[in-house]
Amino acid sequence: MDQIEPQEGDFFEGLLLETCQDYSVSRPRVRPAELLPDWLRVEFPRDLRERNPIGTRFRADVHIRQKHFSDGTAKGPLYLRAENHSIHKVAIPSGPKLLIARQQPGTISGRAYEYFWINSTSESQRQDFYRLRERAYEAAVDSAGTAISEAVRRERSRLIADYALRRANGICEGCEKLAPFLRRNDQPYLEIHHIVAVACGGADSPLNVAAVCPNCHARVSHGKDGNEHNLNIRDRIASLEKDLDRAQKGR
């Protein structure tokens, strides 16, 4: 299909976009995957750029924009702005390995990233993960307002914790950095965190349980911005579960 010459003010509904590694900057970027030249860059939510492997594809409504100096002359190249409410993920890259971008620890600007390869999940592993997800939601529903023994409650809590750890896949669901070390069994070390504490009425539910690093766990409990950080975790888990729900239904 022939490319369209970009013009400021143009609008495209449901344009196919993909995350990419931009060698002019270290942070992951997003570019059009159809119709428009791939040198165009997209103003796109940071968490979606960082959470998904390079090559993940989305569809979104986009506008072509141009920055201007105070005298009205053009400033910099044209770019795309994605309407956040219209964004939905349509595909993840295939292959034995996935390229992931993560913010380098200790950077002041928050714009320095490193890239690393992780093993991709096989189809059988994906099926196992979605079966575990279904069981975790069933356990959460069965536990709500039901008189069950303490042993059964512990077993259901462990099932939901196992799901959260599988969902995190070794990456903290608070700060989105790699787990700080491996356990003796070579599994990434993350801790189970209830976003609303069980003592305060919080449920054992995939939406209320996150797998976080020790630093994020302590930050929520003792940090000056603990409440804000906890709300960010809540929103991140809610968004992630929506993505997983769409992906599972689309299988």
**pLDDT higher than threshold 70 for residue 105:** no
The model's pTM is 0.55
Instruction: Output 99 or 221, whichever has higher pLDDT.
Output: 221
Mean pLDDT of 61-65: 96
Alpha-carbon distances, residue 146 vs 150, 152, 153, 157, 189 (angstroms): 12, 11, 10, 14, 32
Domain boundaries of the chain, sorted by first residue: 11-115, 122-249
Predicted pLDDT at 101: 84
pLDDT of residue 108: 52
27: left (phi over 0), alpha (psi -120 to 50) or beta: beta
- pLDDT band for position 203 (50/70/90)? confident
Tokens of 72: 């009205």
